[in-house]
Amino acid sequence: MNENDKLDIFNAQTTNVRYLEKVWKHLKREVNKSYLQNNKIAIDINTKLLIQVYCAYAEAIFSKTLHTPYGLNLDEIEQIKKIGKNNGITNGWKKCFEIAINKIDGQRGSHKPNIKQKFNFLIDNYLYEPHLLRNKIAHGQWIKAINSENTKNNPIVSSKLELINILDLDRFKEAFKSIYNILEDIIESPNKAHRKFYWEYIIEFETSQKIMSKWTIEEKIKALEKKKKYYKNTSTSNIN
């Protein structure tokens, strides 16, 4: 790979990210429609499809970030790709951060260790699990998960496949914004944008997660029904 190839990949993944945002919105509408219809099988199917889309979106953003112009050099990119290929995408993210963080000026103080700890926390809690579930689904394990050795059932992961819902995925995706914003700033502008916006991202993450943790499916359905009724009444009044 050369610099022109790097730019081509960046542009291609930028296009893919935009499209996957549209796919996410489309599937969310389908999930919402399924809740309004109380169609449990459609809820389950569309939620699991949305897990796939979330992980595809995260991987496209990872590749886009990795190939950012004037960011990481070609050798660094190859190191990260090798880790991601051999040890999984979440370890690829961590390796990318480990390399990028060295671009921040100053070796003393607690800033680097603190942001590394926070970044790894975000990866472990908002990327690892959906990727685990995505891999099970991709291998045909939509209801009952099997262990990695393919020798016995995995009831813990099976339970996660059963219980995950659209609110969980919304929380994952909202937290993911913090992950890639932090990493993107470090790669593109480690000593300006990163220092300026890092704490804003963390506060935004903590605030949004606190609010979203209180959401329930029952409240979501009530809100969807209220919205549907509003648009129905508005449409009727316009006709009259």
What are 142-156's pLDDT values in tens digits? 999 999 898 999 999
In the predicted structure, residue 200 carries a pLDDT above the cut 80: yes
Region 94-117: what's the mean pLDDT? 85
**Digit-coded pLDDT (tens) for 13-48:** 999 999 999 999 999 999 999 999 999 999 999 999
What distance in Å separates the CA atoms of residue 30 and residue 46, rounded to the nearest whole number? 7
Region 196-204: what's the mean pLDDT? 90
* pTM of the predicted protein model: 0.89
Report the chain's mean pLDDT, rounded to a whole number: 91
What pLDDT is recorded for position 41? 96
Region 197-222: what's the mean pLDDT? 91
In the predicted structure, residue 135 carries a pLDDT above the cut 70: yes
pLDDT band at 108 (very low <50, low <70, confident <90, very high): low
What pLDDT is recorded for position 112? 85
